[in-house]
Structure 1
Amino acid sequence: MNCVTNTLFSWIAVAGIVVFSACGGNDNNNPDKPTPKPVVQLSTSATLGAHISDVDGNSLYYFSNDFDGANHCSGGCAAVWPIYYAGDNLAQAALGAGLDIKDFNTITTTDGKKQTTYKGWPLYYYAPNVNGANVREAAGETKGEAVNNVWFVAKTDYSIQLVNAQLVGADGKNYLADHTEGTGKTLYFTDGKGVTLYAFSIDKFNVNKFTKADFSNNAVWPIYETDQIVVPSTLDKTLFGSITVFGKKQLTYKGWPLYYFGQDAGVRGANKGVSFPAPGVWPVVTRDVAAAPQP
């Protein structure tokens, strides 16, 4: 075979590679390939702001009774609040801007159904009874917000959420909202992950009288370090504020500086601090608490 023939074969081979590359390129570079719709996304309400919705823009909600990360809505409740499940391949699914896959998980309800959670909160739709039948609200609606004061749209940036749970002190006894012994749920403040927040009965209006300058006692009652105010619609944002405690921001409500309890160990719904060192010294914070006394 002469050099002319070899050169011809070489050009044919190169041309073949070029044609193959052009015809069999990576699908990811194909501009005509449609972008998958996110299974979960952020929608915006004129009154509630950004909140989580499904692929079609249907609002998703959290339930204050789900303080421990489990589904506590069954029977007639489940008909009005159908569970939301994003599917078996959530880890590979597309998410809307502003959402992180690490915040989502899947639980199995007591009746064996799968349900998607966000930051540990099981997610639900709202389907109120209309003329004898449960009809899920339309895309973009948020009529489930504040139903019975325990249902709220799911948001990414709550600094305060509401938990409806039995108070159980470090002494193992049950307490009511007034911190007397008794059985019954209390609707109280937590952070965005369901960790209980407390006030110190000795504090004054916007004055933290517990934390030491070197923060050597902060592990016992850690301050709630934030000045962000994103709260459920049943709470008045103007009653929240922040103070500076030795260089750190601490959230306040009605002038009460807000704290965690170290022994709760960040466990959702734990509220052991209600009895430590005695009932009423470190109460959980509720919407209707009286304002902190002036200094």
Structure 2
Amino acid sequence: MKFPRWAIPAAAALTASGLVLSACGQEKAGGSPQNAAGAQAQAQPPAAPAVQPSVLEVASVTKLGKVVTDGKGLTLYRFDNDTARPPASTCAEACAKAWPPVQAGAGNTEVKGVDQSLVGKVKRPDGTWQVTLAGWPLYRFAKDKSPGDTEGQGVGGTWYAATPTGKKATPVKQTNRWKGWTVVKAEQDPKLGLILTDGKGMTLYRYDKDKSKPPTTNCFGSCKKAWPPATFEGWKHLKLEGVSKKVVNFIERKDDGKCQLTINGWPMYYYEKDKQPGDTTGQGVGGVWWATTPTGAKAAGTGSAAGTGTGTGTGTGTGDGGYGAGGGY
């Protein structure tokens, strides 16, 4: 049997290309070397993305002042076991998991508030590049979760937040700007509403056994120890926030001659069991002690006081060792 002359070259071409047609005219397994090479290329993992340029910024944080942060506001640290001259990182493996290095991108590190001439990079033992500041390699701390966190400060006596010049951040000396002043502020309490505090946030209280007209204190002796009077330092040293000056005045105490702050005539006190700003453990003690509103009224709420106390008079009062209704302690 003879084939047309055109059929032989076509069959040869199909064989040469490595294609064999089935009865359905579909390509069978096996293909050209070009197809095999393409499949092999697809099987290989994609190349790792390029490291983006790092960002160094400056932020002010509580207790430490100005520190260096990354572009997300997370605090950056330096490690005493590293060296700055020459720059060298000694934090690897488990250490690097707790203290992730700040990787240096291909371009220059972006800076905001940091001298660009202080910024460089150093090659780590694993071959990656790490940002340096004044020669010191920079790190994050895994336990810092939000901008402003400084959980890594002082860890192990070797880790410190970095300042904009690359030095160790040190605690800012806390100064009481209003020392010697009478400071009265209106603060929002989640349970009691708007109440009065001093400049440190400590709650101010009033006592039902006192009088507002005329302003009179009846808290002496053991009562005074449990409820220290809030002193008045004079009109020239008075600072008010959210409180009208019209309701502020003072009385001279009979026991020690000191001036005691009054609000709308009611003498003001602290409670010895309030240990930190925002505490209101004196609310409702003995049924006679109350946090004070900016107008001198009793703050709303029943308080958390429990127990019983008896007074020297005829009545009894409930409270955590407070004055009873009869006035006893």
TM-score with structure 2 length normalisation?
0.34
The structure showing larger relative contact order (alpha-carbon pairs under 8 Å, at least 6 residues apart) is 1
TM-score with structure 1 length normalisation?
0.38
